[in-house]
Amino acid sequence: QKEVEQNSGPLSVPEGAIASLNCTYSDRGSQSFFWYRQYSGKSPELIMFIYSNGDKEDGRFTAQLNKASQYVSLLIRDSQPSDSATYLCAVNNAGNMLTFGGGTRLMVKP
Amino acid sequence: ETGVTQSPTHLIKTRGQQVTLRCSSQSGHNTVSWYQQALGQGPQFIFQYYREEENGRGNFPPRFSGLQFPNYSSELNVNALELDDSALYLCASSTSGGLGETQYFGPGTRLLVL
């Protein structure tokens, strides 16, 4: 069973702080990794994807991948109340099929 | 907005009935994947269609079936509905099924089985 694990939270951070969201995966053959944001009652919205070890930055978001440790993270700098949502980590194992974690609920308090 | 559309937005059915959900993929995308998301959980992969052929299936029983049409739109059919089928059903489209192609989700269909 290929698994993706996330802490369900809630993770509570003050406005302006850095939010750190973590994800581990079991399949060493996984090659691409995605972070989606999902607001309550809405569908997942792509934030970032990462394929290579290291960091990838896009605006306030940084994705970090460590394949040796089978670990993916998402950092959100200068967190805003509008960032409050559930963040889903997804792993592409083969053939474009995504395996999702259960999501981490982030709360950014003004 | 991703350009992926789904219909209907909400649906109420009773146990034992059948349901058909529809999805139109984003322009230029030839792959459609379906996911089921129960309340409080992450989406679970049901199956994927690529150029009108099933291209992989998750751990769902045969009463979950699908189709893809020449214009790459897709249907998800569920027979003999059970209470546990109540969920948000998500369609995602992407380009040709190479590893790592990004999937873009539609707004989903929320199904309630009574």
A63-81: per-residue pLDDT in tens? 999 999 999 999 999 999 9
Q: B21-52 pLDDT, tens per residue?
A: 999 998 888 899 999 999 999 999 999 998 89
Residue window 42-61, chain B: list those with CB within 8 Å of chain A.
42-45, 48, 50, 55-56, 58
Could you say which DSSP state residue B42 is in?
-
Percent of chain A with pLDDT over 70: 96
pLDDT at A95 (0 to 100) = 65
Q: Which of A46, A80, A40, A83 is nearest to A63 (CA)?
A: A46
Residue window 28-87, chain A: list those with CB within 8 Å of chain B.
31-32, 34, 36, 42-46, 49, 51
- When the pLDDT of each residue in chain A is averaged and rounded to a whole number, the result is 94
pLDDT at B27 (0 to 100) = 86
Low-confidence ranges of chain B (pLDDT < 50): none
User: Residue holding tokens 């269609």?
Assistant: B49
Report the distance separating Cα A106 and Cα B26, nearest Å.
29
Q: Which of B83, B71, B70, B65 is nearest to B21 (CA)?
A: B65
CA distance B80 to chain A (A): 26
Among A24, A98, A99, A105, the residue to mutate for chain B (most B Cβ within 10 A): A98
For residues A101 and A7, the answer to whether their CB atoms sit within 8 Å is no
Tell whether A96 is within 8 A of chain B (Cβ): yes
pLDDT at B100 (0 to 100) = 56
pLDDT at B59 (0 to 100) = 93
pLDDT at B76 (0 to 100) = 98
Report the distance separating Cα B33 and Cα B10, nearest Å.
19
